[in-house]
Amino acid sequence: MKWLLGLVLISALCIASVGLFVPTVGAVPQNLTEHSWIYNQGYMDDSRIYQTQYGYAGQKLVTGTRGTGTVSRSIDASVYGGYEDGYNEISMNEWGVWQNKPSTFTQSLTQSDLKNALCSKNYQVGSVYSESYSNIRDLVKDTSIAQTDENSVYDIKTEIQGTAKIGARVQKSSSSVAAYSMSGTYMGYTNIHLTLETGNASILTLPCP
């Protein structure tokens, strides 16, 4: 609990400090939709920051999990910000089960040198997604990416025994706030389903998870 409160405080300070350097240009419209589910039996350290405007304005939301145990969690979120009519919105639902079962996770005595990595960027939309896998004992992944000048869709399905690192960011331009940023490290057994969509497309184009 102290760690999560610290995460929220640090994130608030970072956001506030960014607000001191707000560009003079107008707000930039951004939208994001996320559907994710993860099951981790081992160790995980992940966090997400959602926001619509710089500094002490608009809406902010921070969530994160760190520690050893068994976690089953789903997140459904959407962000709208920077539109000319001044409308800003964050909607989010997080459902999960967290169990403190550290005895179920043991590091392998021998390390695997098998690795896999991917990074995808869309400069027109302002989105980036990256994934890397190391110390792989077993890896089954199905990563689908669609990027145009109008939108980006990242659809990830991964099951791994080893170490997974996932990261994503949505920021339309240097004059806009990052509407979404996430990073996560997962060790042990992990099953991840993650779908992100951002750009000018409707959120209704996303398939059901």
Here the tokens at position 122 are 């869309």
User: Are 176 and 197 contacting, i.e. CB atoms less than 8 angstroms apart?
Assistant: no
Q: For the chain, 209 residues long, give each residue's pLDDT as a single digit of tens.
A: 555 545 544 454 444 444 333 333 345 678 899 999 999 999 999 999 999 988 888 899 999 999 999 999 999 999 988 776 778 899 999 999 999 875 555 666 577 889 999 999 999 999 999 999 999 999 999 999 999 999 999 999 999 999 999 999 999 887 788 999 999 999 999 999 999 999 875 555 555 44
- Structural contact between residues 121 and 146, judged by C-beta atoms closer than 8 angstroms: no
Cβ atoms of 62 and 16 within 8 Å: the answer is no
pLDDT digits (tens, 9 = 90+) for 79-135: 988 776 778 899 999 999 999 875 555 666 577 889 999 999 999 999 999 999 999
Whole-prediction pTM value?
0.81
Which strands, in side-by-side order, build the sheet including 127-147?
89-99, 60-81, 30-51, 180-199, 151-170, 127-147, 116-122
